[in-house]
Amino acid sequence: MSAQPAEDARLKSFVDSVANLRGISYVAASSEGLPYFIAGIEKENADYVSAVANSLYDRMSELTNKLGLGDTDSIKVFLNDTTRLYVFKYKDLVLVIKYDFALDRILEKFTEMLKAAKSVICYNCKTDLTFKIYRCPKCGSFNTYDSERCWSCGADLKLKTCPSCGKLILPDGSKPGFFTVLIYRLKSIFSK
């Protein structure tokens, strides 16, 4: 089980942020079939879900290795037309997320950022925006704070506003340069 408090806090932040998205049924992180962090389900059900997720992940990994398909780092199970189960390994834990299909891209990006230990932290107020959603001002679709372009309409999202302090930030959370802000302001004036 992971013993480093910083990693535990990051994992807890991931679980809490994902659980708060509309369309998420539950999130469970388990170690050896026992729940470690859970959200969206009761403790009794978390034991069952964790055991099944661990078993599913182990069995699928075993099968893909036997078939010569290589190592499996994540599994998507299509439960019906709109509901999916996403099972993946993070360090020594197995995480399972039951979600609506519309969240596919967001969850893939969040898990990629979790595994890569990538963070987006506002330079001004130090708010952690790593697992937060940014809504595209042009089309209204959901993106992550590290996105440079909108996934739906292709709009330029290199500059975003921090939801906590209101300052403009770059996709990595750093402060934009003077000319970058000037060009952004001019674009917003002339695009109206």
Domains defined along the chain, listed by start: 5-115 (3.30.450.30), 133-190 (no CATH)
pLDDT tier, 5 (very low <50, low <70, confident <90, very high otherwise): low
pLDDT tier, 120 (very low <50, low <70, confident <90, very high otherwise): very high
More confident residue, 44 or 107: 107
Whether the CB-CB separation of 105 and 141 falls below 8 Å is answered with no
- Other CB atoms within a 10 A radius of the CB of residue 137 amount to 12
pLDDT in tens, 7-51: 788 899 999 999 999 999 999 999 888 888 889 888 778 888 888
How far apart, in whole angstroms, are the C-alpha atoms of residue 88 and residue 130? 19
Pairing of β 83-90 and β 93-100? antiparallel
User: Average pLDDT in the 120-137 region?
Assistant: 93
- The residues near 42 (Cβ < 8 Å, ≥ 6 apart) are none
pLDDT in tens, 142-171: 999 999 999 999 988 999 999 999 999 999
List, in sequence order, every beta strand (DSSP E) within the chain: 24-31, 34-39, 74-78, 83-90, 93-100, 133-135, 142-144, 160-161, 168-169
Phi-psi label, residue 74: left if phi above 0, alpha if psi -120 to 50, beta otherwise: beta
Which tokens belong to 35? 């729940």
Q: Does the predicted TM-score (pTM) go above 0.85?
A: no
User: What is the per-residue pLDDT for 174?
Assistant: 92
User: What is the per-residue pLDDT for 192?
Assistant: 60
Whether the CB-CB separation of 141 and 48 falls below 8 Å is answered with no
Return the bridge partners of 94, or none: 30, 89
